[in-house]
Structure 1
């Protein structure tokens, strides 16, 4: 447990004791912990341990979480970048997130590439950050510009690539399964696809 977390236990204990309207002596009588020990614990002059905190929490009708603040993890997402069939994926969400976000850069298109739509379970949401994106979705063949968004059921055959003249950069949000599909290298995928 981090030191700054331990430092918060004493003040929380004192606050809860006062909310319950108990004196140090009254809390001592309920727990068989001396009032001087409780006082030192509240003032941060005694290190908390389970032998002290558990009976005090019980006497105050609290859960341990009420006295021991939760540890807030570092919110930053580690930078992970993958290149699949010339498409660059930069991970924007942690692996544990139920929805996966990525910045996807589709390269400048090569001439003669034929759409090869794929399907998989899930939903996908796209926002074009820059460039022009070609989205083939079922019977639709759409070119989207910067600032445009699309959402679709990925069980509908779909295919994505830059519409040129340069690369297209897209913010994509999809399910974990969709992420696995997108980041699976396929040697037979046409250049410029998401490798679905």
Structure 2
């Protein structure tokens, strides 16, 4: 076996431990999600157990990352991002980034409906910034019930009960930046020079 291959295998355990800790998960929580025992996960992270496809596939699904990210595989020469839509709560999320553990970018598509939907509030750890591309978004955030037309943005802590939906039953498209552990989007604008050139 080549030295490079051995180096890749030895780096898997620390990479898995760092990813789990960054996501704020315990071994017990991860075991419950993946079906892999706590002892196996612990040995895998400490390097006492060799990584196998059988162990890495459920971990990649649980972390929602490509398998290549878990093993630290070098990127191929193809710069395209192959998007795999995620369907949840009747909406479609298209991942636009694939970095593990930090701010994630998504395009979200809310389909048109025959009748207005009743808000179903959700809460989870993190911070969200969104920008409406098309349509009219209804954002229910705690006691606030807001309508954001195309071109408007919002930012909020996702620990607050919140719900996103169409304000008028028509389709809505938006961009979302989501930080799992409260990372916030920072916007900076340059001041324009008042002198004409």
TM-score of the superposed pair, with normalisation by structure 1: 0.50
Larger radius of gyration: 1
